[in-house]
Amino acid sequence: MGLDLFSDVADLTAAIVDIESVSGAEEPLADAVEEALRGLPHLTVERYANNVVARTELGRDERVVLAGHLDTVPLNGNLPSRVEGDRLYGCGTTDMKSGVAVALRLAATVTEPTRDVTYVFYECEEIEAGRNGLRKLAVARPELLAGDFAVLMEPTDAQIEGGCQGTLRAEVTAAGERAHSARAWMGSNAIHTAGRILDVLRAYEPTRPVVDGLEYHEGLNAVFISGGVAGNVIPDECVVTVNYRFAPDKSLDDAEAHVREIFAGFQVTITDGASAARPGLTHPAAAAFTAESGAEIRAKLGWTDVARFAELGVPAVNYGPGDPTLAHTKGEYVELPLIAECEERMRTWLAGPTTVSP
């Protein structure tokens, strides 16, 4: 099914939602996006796997990037889409096919933007990082992601969410000594010792750092616990997996050092981590976006792909229609007026007075 990029943004969103694109199966939607964009003479279009990149080449002083992922979580009886009142229901409506629809509409209709624009539509955001399409582009074709400022069209309720938190997972191990449970005093129960780890977590007071004017709320929490050998054995090991969400005033190394300090005396094994990203609101293009969009600004409490842009030296924010608390739910929906509002705000930002480089 073809996509009409000149249709109403609500109708375009519904059409995109109805092309099933669970992570790893984005090809039909990527094909439709590519076909629609290649029909626009003011854009150059490139395809890398199931990632589609379209660019204006107008010689403007600045280049901005608008990016959105094409994939969704697995279906939950929530396709095809349906409209009830001012709400469009269906898998991916809020996360983030409504944002993709806004970007596609802008790509089609803003033919003379004040800044050159790169539109990026990518695969596999909802699954493991190794398959993330934006990551693949950053490694294989970083020039396609180059820009002065980027907007990731994640659902934010049409508010600007600056930067993102970093995330780190670690296994904190309590050691003991095995013994028969009938002679427990001859061993040392690691599960009991793990209570000290939980005590640390219960007593932990998360900080609320202010970074570039935005307040972030950190968190350190247990997310898994495992231990035990058999019903008649005193366990010699218990592992508590913790997740640390940290503000962008810390590097990943800083976060690791903090976790190790908090759990001094225990074995700490770092299993996963992703850097935070600063708000990126000081660049002139970012300042213009915040001023011209009229949107409120807040910190992003979570990790998003803005961190990948930060690693490339491109400041980025999250901005898009949709309530992020509805993402991945069976009853996921997006408010139709909010999609139109996002489109109009971004159009105002992109379609002002033209400035051409000498």
HSE on the CB side for 148, CA within 13 Å? 16
Among 125, 157, 305, 343, the active-site one is 125
Question: What would the two tokens of residue 272 be?
Answer: 């996963």
Residue 284 CB-density burial (10 A; 0-12 exposed, 13-18 middle, 19+ buried) = exposed
Give the H/E segment covering residue 125: none
Q: For residue 83, count CB atoms less than 10 angstroms from its CB and return exposed for 0-12, middle for 13-18, buried for 19 or more.
A: middle
Q: Which residues contact 285 (CB under 8 A, 6 or more apart)?
A: 62, 64, 115, 148, 149
Catalytic residue check, 123: no
- Residue 290 burial (CB count, 10 A): 18
In 3-state terms, what secondary structure has residue 255? Answer: helix
* Count of alpha carbons within 13 angstroms of residue 227, beta-carbon side: 25
Nearest Cα residue to 317 out of 96, 129, 67: 67
125 is annotated as an active-site residue:
yes
For residues 44-65, one letter each, b for 16 or more C-beta atoms within 10 angstroms of the residue's C-beta and e for the rest, the string is: ebebebbbbbbbbebebebbbb
The single residue of 71, 218, 323, 343 carrying the catalytic annotation is 71
Q: Are 149 and 314 in contact (CB under 8 A)?
A: yes
Q: Could you list the active site residues?
A: 71, 125
